[in-house]
Amino acid sequence: MVDNSLATKKFQKEMNAGTASLVLLNVLNRSKEPMYGYQIAKLLEENGPDLPLMKQGTLYPVLRSLEENGLLSSMVEPSVSGPPRRYYKITDEGQSALKEWLEIWKQTKKFVDTILKG
């Protein structure tokens, strides 16, 4: 028998790779204040507790690459307990990118739904 769980895991990973950037950008676009990694992870958990879609640790490298591409900006602030936190904020470029991404997402969703319904 073919190991389905491995294939499923791989599929899930590939799906996440695309959606994580969109989700993170959207979260930071809605938030009025800059947010740090743990805050974002908690927010996602509260909004979708039944969906263990992605491990929290995988959010950080995505945040990092979004920042590298100029869609987010970040700054480090010391915290009372533990190491300093990196706060992320969406940039103007990020906001215009998000608009385009949402459009792509809508089209993709519509397309996949239509095909799946047959």
Partner 1 sequence: MFNTTEEYLDALKIEMQGSDSALLQDALADAREHLSTALAVACEKNAELKEADALKIIVDEYGTPEETASAYKEVERRTSPSLKQTAAKPRSALGRFFGVYADARAWGALLYMLIAFITGVFYFSWAVTGVSLSASFVIFIFGLPLALLFLLSVRGLALLEGRLVEALLGIRMPRRPLFSHQGMKWFDRLKALVTDKITWLMLVYMIIQFVLGTIYFVLIVTVLSFSLSFIAIPFLQEFFDLGTLYIGDKHYFFPAWSYPLFVFGGFILWTIFMHIVCGIGQLHGRLAKWLLVTD
Q: In terms of CB distance, is 36 or 105 closer to partner 1? A: 36
In whole angstroms, the minimum distance from the beta carbon of 25 to partner 1 comes to 15
Interface residue list for partner 1 (CB under 8 A): 17, 36-38, 41, 45, 55-58, 60-62, 64-65, 68-69, 76, 79, 81-86
User: For partner 1, which is the closer residue by CB, 5 or 81?
Assistant: 81
For the chain, the maximum distance between any two Cα atoms, rounded to a whole number of angstroms, is: 56
Query: For partner 1, which is the closer residue by CB, 58 or 107?
Result: 58
CB of 24 to partner 1, least distance (A): 12
Nearest distance from C-beta of residue 118 to partner 1, angstroms: 33
